[in-house]
C-alpha cells in the first residue's frame, strides 16, 4: 500500500519515489497556482452567512478531526451557541446537494463521519461538494450562528473565520513529501497561517516563532457500546467475561485503535486493518474465532449496524484538553461570534 511509502523510509522504496516524483511536481504546481489565484482574486472566495471554523489538516488520512469537531460542538452548546456542521460527505451518494441529514440518513447517503456526528450530537449537519451552499443552508434552515467545517482546509472557495489544524503526533507528516510521493496536501509552512494547531496524542511541534498557537489533545475511550442494542458496558466488566477479542478498524491509522485496546487490557486474537472510509460487508465481520466479541471504532460502527451482529461492540472516544487549552478553543469560538 502507498502508506508504506509515505510513513516509512527504507532504501528499497527509492524506485517508487522516483516514479512518483513527476506527479508530485505537477500536484505542487497545480495546488500552488490555485491558491495564488484565490489570494489575488483571480478565483472568488465566497463569504458564508455565518462564520466558519475549519477543522482540517495538511495531509490525508485520519488525524483526529472528528473528535475535535465533537469537542467544539460541546463547547458551543455550553455557550448557548447554535452550531451546525458541514462536510464533503466522502463516500456518500445523496439524492441532491446540499443535503441535510435526518434520523434516517445512512453512511451510504452522507458518508460515515457526518452520520457519526449527527447521531452523537443531533446538531444540524449538511454535506455536499459546495461547502458554501452547505453552510448557508444550515444558516437559513436551522438559524445556525456558527458553522464548523469537518475538513475543508484546502477548500479555498469558502471564506473562513478561523482555521484549526489537527496533527497526528505519531505519524506527523510522514516522509514530508507532497502527494503522491507523500501524504501531504500542503507543506508544513502552511501551519504558520492557521489559528490553532492541535497535536493529537503528543507534544507540540518545533516550528518557527510566527507559527500558530499549539495545544495538546488526548483521546479518552468511553464505555463499550453494543452494536445491536446500544447497551453499554465498562471495560472492567467486559473483560471479566471477554479478555480475548477480535478487532477491526477502517480508519486512517488502524494500529492506533488496536494499541488503544491493548492499553485497556484486551488480548487481540485477530485484527483486521481496512482502508479509511471502507465500505463494509458482512464478510468483514467474519473472523477465525467467531465466538469472540468483535470490537470496532464508532466511525466503523455506523456502517456495520446493518449487519445485526450479535456480538459486536464499538468504542467511542472523546477529545480531552487541559483547562487552558480548552480555554483557547473557547476563545476562538467566542471571537468569531463577537466579530460576526
Which parts are annotated binding residues?
59-66
Q: What is the 3-state secondary structure (H, E, C) of 218-267?
A: EEEECCEEECCCCCEECHHHHHHHCCEEEEEECCCCHHHHHHHHHHCCCE
16: its cell numbers: 517508487
Give yes or no for a cis peptide into 180 (omega within 30° of 0). Answer: yes
338: its cell numbers: 463577537
What's the rounded Cα separation, in Å, for the pair 107 and 93?
9
Residues 6+ apart with CB under 8 A from 192: 207, 208, 210, 211, 212
Max distance between CA atoms of the chain, in angstroms, equals: 63
What's the rounded Cα separation, in Å, for the pair 9 and 187?
18
Residue 135: phi, psi to the nearest 5?
-65, -45
Q: Which residues are annotated as a binding site for ATP?
A: 59-66
Q: Are strands 232-233 and 224-226 parallel, antiparallel or unpaired?
A: antiparallel
Q: Are strands 196-200 and 213-221 parallel, antiparallel or unpaired?
A: parallel
What's the rounded Cα separation, in Å, for the pair 234 and 222?
8
Amino acid at each position: 500500500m502507498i502508506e508504506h511509502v509515505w510513513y516509512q523510509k527504507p532504501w528499497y522504496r527509492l524506485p517508487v519515489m522516483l516514479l512518483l516524483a513527476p506527479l508530485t511536481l505537477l500536484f505542487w504546481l497545480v495546488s500552488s497556482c490555485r491558491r495564488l489565484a484565490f489570494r489575488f482574486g483571480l478565483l472568488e472566495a465566497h463569504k458564508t452567512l455565518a462564520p466558519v471554523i475549519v477543522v482540517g489538516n495538511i495531509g490525508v488520512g485520519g488525524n483526529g478531526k472528528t473528535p475535535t469537531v465533537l469537542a467544539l460542538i460541546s463547547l458551543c452548546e455550553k455557550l448557548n451557541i447554535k452550531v451546525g456542521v458541514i462536510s464533503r460527505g466522502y463516500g456518500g451518494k445523496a439524492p441532491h446537494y446540499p443535503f441535510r441529514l435526518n434520523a434516517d440518513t445512512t453512511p451510504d447517503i452522507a458518508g460515515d463521519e457526518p452520520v457519526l456526528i449527527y447521531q452523537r450530537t443531533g446538531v444540524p449537519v449538511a454535506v455536499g461538494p459546495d461547502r458554501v451552499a452547505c453552510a448557508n443552508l444550515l444558516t437559513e434552515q436551522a438559524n445556525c450562528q456558527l458553522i464548523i467545517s469537518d475538513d475543508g482546509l484546502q477548500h479555498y472557495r469558502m471564506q473562513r473565520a478561523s482555521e484549526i489544524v489537527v496533527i497526528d503526533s505519531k505519524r506527523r507528516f510522514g516522509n514530508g513529501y507532497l502527494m503522491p510521493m507523500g501524504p501531504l496536501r500542503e507543506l508544513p509552512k502552511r501551519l504558520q497561517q492557521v489559528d490553532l494547531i492541535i497535536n493529537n496524542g503528543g507534544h507540540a511541534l518545533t516550528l518557527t516563532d510566527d507559527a500558530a498557537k499549539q495545544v495538546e489533545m488526548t483521546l479518552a475511550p468511553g464505555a463499550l457500546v453494543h452494536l445491536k442494542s446500544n447497551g453499554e458496558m465498562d471495560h472492567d466488566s467486559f473483560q471479566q467475561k471477554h479478555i480475548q477479542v477480535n478487532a477491526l478498524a477502517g480508519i486512517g491509522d488502524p494500529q492506533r485503535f488496536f494499541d488503544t485496546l491493548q492499553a485497556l487490557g484486551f488480548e487481540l486474537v485477530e485484527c483486521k486493518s481496512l482502508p479509511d472510509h471502507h465500505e463494509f460487508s458482512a464478510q468483514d465481520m467474519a473472523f477465525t474465532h467467531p465466538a469472540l466479541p468483535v470490537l470496532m471504532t464508532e466511525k466503523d460502527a455506523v456502517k456495520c449496524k446493518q449487519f445485526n451482529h450479535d456480538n459486536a461492540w464499538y468504542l467511542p472516544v472523546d477529545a480531552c484538553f487541559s483547562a487552558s487549552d480548552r480555554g483557547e478553543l473557547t476563545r476562538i469560538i467566542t471571537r468569531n461570534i463577537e466579530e460576526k
